[in-house]
Amino acid sequence: MAQITFKGNPVETSGSLPGTGSEAPFFCLVKTDLSEAGPADFASMRMVLNIFPSLDTPVCASSVRKFNRDASSLDNTVVLCISADLPFAHKRFCETEGLQDVIPLSVFRSPEFGRDYGVTITSGPLKGLLSRAVVIVDSDGMVIYSEQVPEITQEPDYACALKVLG
């Protein structure tokens, strides 16, 4: 389990992020139209998994905007914005913000995602939501970058993630 903080207070997650060089765990998540999506839908593409607690917080919203602007334009790359928010909230947020270059995905039917990626918060006031993390998976399904953000109220290290993507 990862030990992170929320507003300086310790919280724990269900495990650890998949390590660099490991095969990315399978997932099946829900898109804004209520259909399901998984790795096969993005075959031969690099996937940026932007994982966060909720779009209803400024830092989470900022990360979606930032990755929409900076990573989505990269060749052979798709940005998946993953949270426990319902698909309706994802759709409303992206439409309101004019974000068309990210794919919002909800874990509401798939609690195993948080367990498999080690990001389900297991203690504290956000228990049950996902921690803030970035996992980048190459076109062969291998993890090439992962960052568990140590303080939930902080943004991920965009520069490091973008550098891995070239």
Q: Which residues are catalytic?
A: 60
Q: Is the dihedral of CA 118, 94, 56, 153 positive or negative?
A: positive
Give the separation between CA 151 and CA 8, rounded to whole angstroms.
Answer: 7
The residue type of 111 is: P
Question: Is residue 9 within 8 Å of 153, Cβ to Cβ?
Answer: no
Give Cα 166 to chain centroid, integer Å. 19
Angle at 92 (CA atoms; ends 90, 93), nearest 5 degrees: 65
